[in-house]
Amino acid sequence: MNAPSIPEDRPISAAEAALVSWLLANAQMGCDTAGPSASVDDLRVVGRCSCGCPSINFVENGQDSGAFPIASAYGTTAEGVISALIVWEREGAISGLEFTELDEPVRSLPLIDTLTMMSPF
Protein backbone atom coordinates (compact mmCIF):
# COMPACT_ATOMS: atom_id res chain seq x y z
CA MET A 1 0.00 0.00 0.00
CA ASN A 2 1.91 3.05 -1.22
CA ALA A 3 -0.90 5.52 -0.61
CA PRO A 4 -1.71 6.69 2.92
CA SER A 5 -3.97 4.48 5.01
CA ILE A 6 -7.47 5.63 6.01
CA PRO A 7 -8.33 4.52 9.55
CA GLU A 8 -11.07 1.91 9.77
CA ASP A 9 -12.24 -0.41 12.55
CA ARG A 10 -14.17 -3.50 11.52
CA PRO A 11 -13.92 -7.28 11.42
CA ILE A 12 -12.41 -8.84 8.31
CA SER A 13 -15.16 -9.57 5.77
CA ALA A 14 -15.95 -13.13 4.72
CA ALA A 15 -14.60 -12.42 1.20
CA GLU A 16 -11.36 -10.92 2.54
CA ALA A 17 -10.93 -13.83 4.97
CA ALA A 18 -11.44 -16.34 2.15
CA LEU A 19 -8.70 -14.65 0.08
CA VAL A 20 -6.23 -14.55 2.99
CA SER A 21 -6.98 -18.18 3.87
CA TRP A 22 -6.50 -19.31 0.25
CA LEU A 23 -3.22 -17.42 -0.02
CA LEU A 24 -1.88 -18.90 3.23
CA ALA A 25 -2.94 -22.42 2.23
CA ASN A 26 -1.84 -22.32 -1.42
CA ALA A 27 0.65 -19.53 -2.09
CA GLN A 28 3.08 -19.21 0.82
CA MET A 29 6.49 -17.84 -0.03
CA GLY A 30 9.26 -20.05 1.46
CA CYS A 31 9.03 -18.58 4.96
CA ASP A 32 11.05 -20.06 7.80
CA THR A 33 8.42 -19.07 10.36
CA ALA A 34 5.70 -21.33 11.70
CA GLY A 35 3.15 -18.95 10.24
CA PRO A 36 0.94 -16.23 11.65
CA SER A 37 -0.37 -16.76 15.15
CA ALA A 38 -3.90 -15.35 14.77
CA SER A 39 -6.86 -17.03 13.15
CA VAL A 40 -7.82 -15.33 9.89
CA ASP A 41 -11.45 -15.06 11.03
CA ASP A 42 -10.34 -13.09 14.11
CA LEU A 43 -8.52 -10.38 12.14
CA ARG A 44 -9.73 -6.78 12.40
CA VAL A 45 -9.23 -4.18 9.68
CA VAL A 46 -7.59 -1.06 11.12
CA GLY A 47 -6.98 0.79 7.85
CA ARG A 48 -7.66 0.76 4.13
CA CYS A 49 -5.81 2.24 1.19
CA SER A 50 -6.75 5.80 0.26
CA CYS A 51 -6.24 5.20 -3.48
CA GLY A 52 -9.51 3.27 -3.77
CA CYS A 53 -8.05 -0.22 -4.12
CA PRO A 54 -9.19 -2.90 -1.65
CA SER A 55 -5.82 -3.12 0.19
CA ILE A 56 -6.26 -3.31 3.98
CA ASN A 57 -4.14 -3.38 7.13
CA PHE A 58 -4.75 -5.53 10.19
CA VAL A 59 -2.19 -3.61 12.25
CA GLU A 60 -1.22 0.04 11.98
CA ASN A 61 1.22 0.52 9.07
CA GLY A 62 0.86 -3.19 8.34
CA GLN A 63 2.71 -3.10 5.02
CA ASP A 64 5.45 -0.67 5.97
CA SER A 65 9.02 -1.20 7.16
CA GLY A 66 9.38 -4.28 9.32
CA ALA A 67 6.65 -6.24 7.50
CA PHE A 68 7.45 -8.91 4.95
CA PRO A 69 5.40 -10.78 2.34
CA ILE A 70 4.44 -14.34 3.29
CA ALA A 71 2.06 -15.31 0.47
CA SER A 72 1.41 -14.04 -3.02
CA ALA A 73 -0.74 -14.87 -6.03
CA TYR A 74 -2.71 -13.31 -8.88
CA GLY A 75 -6.46 -12.96 -9.27
CA THR A 76 -9.12 -11.41 -11.48
CA THR A 77 -12.09 -9.31 -10.38
CA ALA A 78 -15.63 -9.72 -11.71
CA GLU A 79 -14.85 -6.72 -13.96
CA GLY A 80 -11.90 -8.59 -15.51
CA VAL A 81 -9.16 -6.58 -13.76
CA ILE A 82 -6.07 -8.64 -12.90
CA SER A 83 -4.11 -7.88 -9.75
CA ALA A 84 -1.36 -9.32 -7.62
CA LEU A 85 -2.32 -10.18 -4.03
CA ILE A 86 0.16 -10.17 -1.15
CA VAL A 87 -0.34 -11.17 2.48
CA TRP A 88 2.04 -9.31 4.81
CA GLU A 89 3.31 -10.39 8.23
CA ARG A 90 4.94 -8.46 11.04
CA GLU A 91 6.17 -9.91 14.35
CA GLY A 92 4.34 -13.21 13.82
CA ALA A 93 0.98 -11.66 12.94
CA ILE A 94 -0.80 -11.15 9.64
CA SER A 95 -0.44 -7.41 9.14
CA GLY A 96 -1.93 -6.63 5.73
CA LEU A 97 -3.55 -7.74 2.49
CA GLU A 98 -2.34 -5.82 -0.56
CA PHE A 99 -3.79 -5.66 -4.07
CA THR A 100 -1.33 -4.41 -6.68
CA GLU A 101 -2.47 -3.00 -10.01
CA LEU A 102 -0.93 -4.73 -13.00
CA ASP A 103 -2.68 -2.86 -15.78
CA GLU A 104 -5.93 -1.21 -14.68
CA PRO A 105 -6.93 0.20 -11.28
CA VAL A 106 -8.18 -2.48 -8.88
CA ARG A 107 -11.45 -1.42 -7.23
CA SER A 108 -12.95 -4.74 -6.09
CA LEU A 109 -11.78 -8.05 -4.66
CA PRO A 110 -10.61 -10.78 -7.02
CA LEU A 111 -12.85 -13.82 -7.33
CA ILE A 112 -11.55 -16.75 -5.30
CA ASP A 113 -11.87 -19.20 -8.21
CA THR A 114 -9.51 -17.05 -10.33
CA LEU A 115 -6.57 -17.14 -7.90
CA THR A 116 -3.40 -18.60 -9.33
CA MET A 117 0.31 -18.53 -8.65
CA MET A 118 1.02 -18.32 -12.39
CA SER A 119 1.77 -14.85 -13.72
CA PRO A 120 -0.86 -13.69 -16.21
CA PHE A 121 1.86 -12.15 -18.39
Non-local CB neighbours of 25 within 8 Å, separated by 6+ positions: none
- In terms of pLDDT, which residue wins out, 29 or 44? 44
The per-residue pLDDT for range 59-109, each reduced to its tens digit, is: 987 788 789 999 999 999 999 999 999 999 998 899 999 999 998 999 999
What is the distance between the alpha carbons of residues 69 and 78, in angstroms, rounded to a whole number?
A: 25
Do 51 and 87 form a contact (C-beta atoms < 8 A)? no
Q: For residue 58, with 0-12 CB atoms within 10 Å meaning exposed, 13-18 middle and 19 or more buried, which class applies?
A: buried
Residue 112's φ and ψ, nearest 5 degrees, are: -60, -35
How far apart CA 91 and CA 18 sit, in angstroms, is 22
pLDDT band with cut points at 50, 70 and 90 for residue 113: very high
pLDDT of residue 51: 93
Residues 68 and 33: beta-carbon distance below 8 Å = no
